[in-house]
Amino acid sequence: MRFGVMTLIDHTPDALSGHLVSPSERFHEVIELAVLAEELGFDAFGVGERHGPPFLSSSPPAVLGAIAARTRRIRLFTTVTVLSTLDPVRVAEDYATVDQLSGGRLELTIGKGNAPEPWALFGRDPDDQYALQEENYELLRRLWSEEKVSWSGSFRPPLDAVTTLPRPHQRPPAIWHGSATSERSVELAALWGDPLFAANAIQPVANYARLIDHYRARWAAYGHDPSTALVGSGGTLYAAADDRTARREFGPYYEAAVAGRDVPGNNTPFRTVDDAAGHGPAFIGSPDRIADKIRRQHDAYGHALQFFSVEVAGLPFARKAEVLRLTAAEVLPALRHELPDTLAWPDPSGAASGDPARPAKVAG
């Protein structure tokens, strides 16, 4: 199994002290977190996209470009790109630029989004969200795989022999499909033989397992080799020396993050840290407790990639760094040994030197 760290660049006051860092400091923290993740041996770092408060992650390509300049090995993910509201030509150009700057380390994760702000901001009708996602995805695939693309669709002006520049470093970058609840997003991933990323953030584990099972069933129905289906998963992380300490330290942050949350698609039934740690998908506790929970989720999901979010309710950077250090030292080694690694990512030295190495493509 491979492991990553992800962020939506939330900009909220510290739930205990009330201190709020400046936006500039917050961006600096994200870059330093990515650098630390690489130093500690994590395999990937992801930046999500949101377009409303309290998040500052409206421009993941810019942030990933800054991270690319400070790192050498770590894979750079979008978690996720809200493709349903964006122009796929712009997406192709922006993320091909990140792919070139990073020497071929980009992994794009697309999703339709579940926040209301982008629809009005970008002049899109939320009733068209699935049709937009599917049409934009198919155009993006062509723009990265072909040159002189001629195309017409329902939501943007036609293209006549267009070649987007720069071309991606990889040929082409991998595209994952993110889903929290949507079987239609799962269907799109299975149809095209692409990896699936399950949010694993809010709902019970059984709900995500059903979504992943549906993906594998549809994958096989489309004629792809079942052994090549790839799944990734997310999850909130807080590690400490023992379970009691973890819950005591993290409780105010977790409960501040979910208090008063009343956003369709973003509500969780796990309202206390004890409930989240004991019954929800979050990883909160001692290293042994966290490792055991990942094993149990792997039994349910069969996933190849595990992302962690440590950015909750203004948690101080020093505390995030401690959590990642403890996880890297006491959680990851055993899991790397026990759980299979089915992500054939290239040797970073080859990718950085201009060799056209790229992730293995799934069948389809």
How many residues does the structure list for the chain?
A: 364
Burial of residue 261 (number of CB atoms within 10 Å: 0-12, 13-18, 19+): exposed
pLDDT confidence of residue 260: 61
The reported pLDDT for the residue numbered 341 is 92
Residues facing residue 6 across a β-bridge: 46, 309
pLDDT of residue 362: 36
**Which segments of the chain have a pLDDT < 70?**
260-266, 346-364
Tokens of 177: 């499909």
Q: Give the pLDDT score at 121.
A: 80
Q: What domains, with CATH codes, occur in the chain?
A: 2-352 (3.20.20.30)
pLDDT at residue 353 in the model: 36
The residues near 155 (Cβ < 8 Å, ≥ 6 apart) are 128, 131, 132, 135, 136
pLDDT digits (tens, 9 = 90+) for 258-317: 876 555 555 788 889 999 999 999 999 999 999 999 999 999 999 999 999 999 989 999
In tens, the pLDDT along 47-81 reads 999 998 999 999 999 999 999 999 999 999 999 99
